[in-house]
Structure 1
Amino acid sequence: MKIKGYCDSLASCGEAISEQEHVTVILNYLSPEYESVLTIITASPVPYSVQGFITKLLDAEARQ
């Protein structure tokens, strides 16, 4: 949510970031317990949307 807030603030200033940049920032701050999600996302030949990525994170969290 913190990262989303930053992205929203940037967008309101006319400095919107792409979905891929948004996903990359989240990936950089994931804790080691989400290593499996990181592997899935980075190995995908098709870039994930922010919503698709969040869904994967929530699925992983529900399994833990």
Structure 2
Amino acid sequence: MKGDELYKEGLYLESKPIWEEVLDMNSSFILSYKALAKAYFKMGDYKKPLNVLKLLRINWAIPMPFGR
């Protein structure tokens, strides 16, 4: 998987479109949320990663470590 390879190399911005496509196909794939959150953070958008992780919480009904 190319997105996984880019993610492992720390190339979060480059992997962003791939992870967005993965989420469109399967919203249960946890790594895609984490990768997108890191990509947004690298882009300087510090609020969007929280929104992405909140989606993960909604999709999996698990508590977030930093609250709401």
Ranked by relative contact order (alpha carbons within 8 Å, sequence separation 6 or more), the top structure is 1
TM range, normalised to the smaller chain? Answer: 0.3 to 0.5
TM-score in terms of structure 1 length: 0.38
Return the structure number with greater helix share: 1
Q: Over alpha carbons, which structure has the higher Rg?
A: 1
